[in-house]
Amino acid sequence: RGRSAGSPGAVALPRPLGADAHEEEPMLVAQRKNPDYHGFSADPEADVLNMRAAFLAGISIAIVLGSVFVHYLPDYGLQQWARREAEILVRERERCGEPLLTSNYYDPKRLPLPPPE
């Protein structure tokens, strides 16, 4: 019940379209001719040359575009902006003769305080 009538290991897989039972795949033929086959050409010298060119181009593109991408990322956490803003405030306070740091975060004259009762 619910089982096929054939033996358990007799499963026939469909063959790809156009594949003959006696015909080998082109990749296997190329690998037999050239054991160091990289998949670029059937000619061994052209295969190695194309593999090296693709590897060089891929690595170069990854390094160049990766570093350009990292360089032009936005200011994470606004750290550069905060540094520039602090430098502007320091120059402004030095020019006015004020101390760089004060003990009060806000100006006490501008704070509305409750009456001292």
The residue type at 73: L
Q: Which of 29, 61, 56, 30 is nearest to 44 (CA)?
A: 30
The residue type at 94: E
Q: pLDDT confidence of 31, banded at 50, 70, 90?
A: confident
Residue 87 has pLDDT above 60, yes or no: yes
Q: What are phi and psi of 65, to 5 degrees?
A: -70, -35
Residue 68 has pLDDT above 90, yes or no: yes
Per-domain residue ranges of the chain: 27-59
When the pLDDT of each residue in the chain is averaged and rounded to a whole number, the result is 83
Cβ neighbours of 13 (radius 10 Å): 4
